[in-house]
């Protein structure tokens, strides 16, 4: 993954990390295709001030998520769906397919981690048998120099 794409995706998530911006995007997403809303209308709908909405729209515009059209004295805003698709594609390249089913026995068997019987690494004192961990599994799960706490003590 090229670093600018990682930075771009981080900025996207940072923008979406604000509740007011998410509410603003949700409101703009409910508009009919081809329609747009002015800052005053958005501010009233979200029970906030026009300057507050303008600041949030600025962030969304910088990412290309919204565009503006001037209509007389007012500027009207609308979402750019293609940009959401672009960020979704960057996300897929960076993170892959995130649809993981932890209860799927096949995906659980494919892991080579030392704690493969569990969704995540659980300390050996919580495992049924510490001897389940091979030295290779311990290295893969915890690093080259790591010992798996009580697994190593009980094997010694």
pLDDT at residue 56 is higher than 90: yes
In this structure, the answer to whether residues 73 and 28 fall within a common structural domain is: yes
pTM of the model: 0.60
pLDDT at residue 41 is higher than 80: yes
Q: Does residue 82 lie within any of the structural domains?
A: yes
Q: Does residue 98 lie within any of the structural domains?
A: no
Q: Does residue 60 lie within any of the structural domains?
A: yes
pLDDT at residue 32 is higher than 50: yes
pLDDT at residue 110 is higher than 50: no
| Boundary-marking domain end, from 56, 91, 126 | 91
pLDDT at residue 14 is higher than 90: yes
Q: Does residue 28 lie within any of the structural domains?
A: yes
b/e map 77-89, b = 16+ CB within 10 Å: bbbbeebbebbee
b/e map 128-145, b = 16+ CB within 10 Å: eebeebeeebbeebbeee
Range of the domain at 34: 3-91
Q: Does residue 97 lie within any of the structural domains?
A: no
- Out of 33-37, 70-74, 138-142, least confident range: 138-142
What pLDDT is recorded for position 87? Answer: 87
């Amino acid at each position: 993954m090229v670093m600018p794409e990682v930075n771009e995706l981080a900025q996207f998530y940072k923008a979406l990390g604000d509740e007011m911006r998410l509410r603003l995007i949700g409101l703009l997403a409910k508009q009919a295709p081809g329609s747009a809303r002015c800052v005053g209308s958005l501010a009233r709908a979200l029970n906030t001030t026009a300057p507050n909405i303008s600041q949030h729209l600025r962030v969304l515009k910088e990412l290309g998520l919204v565009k503006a059209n001037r209509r007389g004295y007012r500027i009207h805003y609308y979402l750019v769906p293609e940009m959401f698709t672009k960020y979704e594609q960057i996300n897929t390249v960076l993170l892959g397919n995130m649809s993981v089913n932890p209860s799927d026995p096949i995906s659980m068997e494919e892991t080579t981690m030392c704690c493969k019987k569990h969704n995540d690494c659980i300390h050996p004192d919580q495992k049924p048998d510490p001897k389940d961990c091979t030295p290779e599994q311990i290295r893969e799960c915890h690093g080259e120099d790591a010992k798996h706490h009580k697994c190593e003590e009980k094997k010694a």
